Amino acid sequence: MNTTKKFEFQPLPYSYDALEPFIDKLTVEIHYSKHHKAYHDNFINAIKGTEMESMDIKDIFRSISKYPMAVRNNSGGYFNHTFYWENMKAHGVGKPTGKLSEAIVKAFGSFDEFKKQFSDAGKTRFGSGWAWLCLDDKGTLFICSTPNQDNPFMDIAEKKGIPLLTIDVWEHAYYLKYQNKRPDYIEAFWNVVNWEEVAKRCENALKSLDLKII
């Protein structure tokens, strides 16, 4: 398969201004068309002529420690951003429903407690990185954060899991509107979470683990 097609730069699933007023148009435009695009292009260049061209990106992540740093940074930057765009939407419903909601209550005690812990993971990530909600191999939800462009699929992650929801806490994700106020951006993020997408990821993750209940 053609590498450019296989690792395509997916279209943004909504218009640049769709997440207003929570995430502003200019931020989304620069973040997607400049930052994300650069990670994609650099990833394609970094794997050119290597075995990675024919690999699944998750298999690259699973053995990321044996590849050059340029692959680690740009494969993560390419994948993480697509994952982030897709777990947001205009007018998010604000709360998960169904099984995912039950799993969150079971793991964290309440939705508010989950929100607090996830937000704290983003706020306390020193420097640049990501906060994640993940499923572990027992089917239990957990929250973690990763530095730079790392993600929980990578073999170097402190705790590995299947990611379900993420927030980008690099300054480029919020600085134009929120300047140094990362907590305000994280608070606004909850208004645009695409819970239907997160629930779908959760179901697929459970299937891949062959678990029926959480």
Coil vs helix vs strand at 214:
coil
- Cβ closer to Mn ion: 108 or 170? 170
Gyration radius (Cα) of the chain, Å: 17
Say which amino acid occupies 67: Y
- Cβ closer to Mn ion: 85 or 170? 170
Cα separation, 25 vs 67, whole angstroms: 36
Region near Mn ion per CB under 5 A, out of 12-20, 153-161, 162-170, 186-194: 162-170
Q: Is the dihedral of CA 75, 31, 90, 134 positive or negative?
A: positive
Least separation in angstroms between CB 16 and Mn ion: 15
Region near Mn ion per CB under 5 A, out of 63-71, 107-115, 117-125, 170-178: 170-178
**Contact with Mn ion (CB under 5 A) among 12, 72, 135, 168:** 168
- Cβ closer to Mn ion: 37 or 62? 37
Cα dist. 61→64, 74, 98, 100, 212 in Å? 5, 11, 31, 26, 26
Least separation in angstroms between CB 33 and Mn ion: 12
Site for Mn ion, residues 34 to 53, rule: CB under 5 A: none
Region near Mn ion per CB under 5 A, out of 10-18, 145-153, 165-173, 193-201: 165-173
- Cβ closer to Mn ion: 18 or 209? 18
The residues pairing with 40 across neighbouring beta strands, listed in sequence order, are: none
Coil vs helix vs strand at 141:
strand
Least separation in angstroms between CB 5 and Mn ion: 24
Cα separation, 96 vs 118, whole angstroms: 14
Coil vs helix vs strand at 106:
helix
Least separation in angstroms between CB 113 and Mn ion: 27
- Cβ closer to Mn ion: 69 or 93? 69
Q: In the complex, which residue's CB is closest to Mn ion? A: 168
Whether the CB-CB separation of 169 and 182 falls below 8 Å is answered with yes
Site size for Mn ion (CB under 5 A):
2
Residue for token digits 């053995």?
63
Cα separation, 51 vs 66, whole angstroms: 12
- Cβ closer to Mn ion: 86 or 168? 168
- 170 makes contact with Mn ion (CB under 5 A): yes
Q: Which residues contact Mn ion by CB under 5 A?
A: 168, 170
